[in-house]
């Protein structure tokens, strides 16, 4: 019974009548108000692609800025060579907790912001999935290249996808609100 009522709500306010066909476009008059139309709810692939690129750029930029800020606040040891994974592995236990938390926060906030922006521009959640997958795969590569404690694996691989979901959810709520 509820499904039938829902289907009725999707129908246009004015049913199609042959007398209401516009001669210029051969479309019904109610078709000009495309808010009910299925295609009006799906953005173009170009818009989705550009939104995904914007979301990725925003995520990578924010992660870079927050990681750089963390390195300024908690500089790594002077003997550490950033190009040597073994040197980083030896220095990782010596870093203060604030440095490790700032790195995790950079990944989470970058993912959230990129997902939110991509979803807001595209008006769909696909860019959030792509941004989340990109940051999670980048985090996974980093975790494989530089040994981290097991808790860091769990935090990075659980909270990064959750941040992408939260960014998409917040953007979808903003899109759904009438202006």
Residues 30 and 93 both lie in one domain: no
Output b/e per residue, 133-159; b: 16+ Cβ within 10 A: ebbbebbeeeeeeeebeeebeebbeeb
> What tens-digit pLDDT sequence spans the chain (179 residues)?
444 444 444 445 555 444 444 444 555 554 455 444 443 456 788 999 999 999 999 999 999 999 999 999 999 888 988 888 888 888 888 888 888 889 889 999 999 999 999 999 999 999 999 999 999 999 999 888 888 888 888 888 899 999 999 999 999 988 887 66
26 Rama sector, left if φ>0, alpha if ψ -120 to 50, beta otherwise? left
The answer to whether the CB of 58 falls within 8 A of the CB of 117 is yes
Give me the number of domains the chain comprises.
Answer: 2
Q: Which of 93, 168, 92 is nearest to 129 (CA)?
A: 168
- Do 154 and 69 belong to one domain? yes
- Shared-domain flag, residues 151 and 170: yes
Is the separation of the CB atoms in 114 and 62 below 8 Å? yes
Q: Domain limits at 32? A: 2-36
Q: Which residue, 110, 111, 127, 106, is CA-closest to 172?
A: 127
**50 with 23, same domain?**
no
Q: What pLDDT sits at residue 39?
A: 39
Check residue 94 and give its pLDDT.
Answer: 87
Same domain, 77 and 12: no
- Residue 57 sits in the same domain as residue 32: no
28 and 86 within one domain: no
Do 22 and 92 belong together in one domain? no
- What pLDDT sits at residue 117? 97
Gap between the Cα atoms of 20 and 31, Å rounded: 10
Residues 65 and 91 in one domain: yes
Which residue reads 């000009």 in tokens? 32
Does the global pTM surpass 0.75? no
* pLDDT for residue 179: 62
- Indicate if 28 and 12 belong to the same structural domain: yes
DSSP string covering 63-88, please? HHHHHHHHHHHSPPPTT--TT-HHHH
Rounded to 5, what percent of the chain is helix, strand, coil? 75, 0, 25
**Whether residue 14 is found in the same domain as residue 74:** no
What per-residue confidence (pLDDT) applies to 11? 47
Closest CA to 163 of 107, 79, 85, 120: 107
Contacts of residue 159, Cβ cutoff 8 Å, sequence gap at least 6: 104, 107, 108
Do 120 and 97 reside in the same domain of the chain? yes
Task: Check residue 177 and give its pLDDT.
Answer: 78
Q: What is the pLDDT of residue 7?
A: 43
């Amino acid at each position: 019974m509820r499904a039938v009522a829902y289907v009725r709500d999707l129908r246009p306010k004015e049913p199609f009548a042959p007398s209401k066909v516009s001669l210029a476009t051969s479309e019904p008059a109610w078709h000009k108000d495309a808010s009910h139309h299925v295609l009006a709810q799906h953005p173009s692939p170009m818009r989705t692609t550009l939104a995904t690129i914007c979301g990725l750029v925003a995520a990578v930029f924010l992660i870079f800025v927050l990681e750089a800020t963390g390195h300024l606040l908690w500089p790594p040891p002077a003997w550490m060579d950033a190009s040597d994974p073994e040197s980083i592995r030896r220095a990782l236990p010596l870093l203060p907790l604030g440095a490790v938390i700032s790195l995790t926060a950079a990944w989470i906030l970058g993912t959230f912001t990129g997902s939110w922006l991509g979803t807001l521009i595209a008006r769909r959640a696909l860019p959030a999935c792509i941004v989340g997958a990109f940051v999670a795969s980048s985090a996974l590569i980093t975790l494989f290249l530089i040994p981290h404690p097991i808790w860091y694996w769990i935090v990075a691989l659980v909270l990064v996808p959750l941040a992408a979901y939260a960014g998409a959810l917040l953007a979808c709520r903003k899109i759904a609100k009438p202006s």
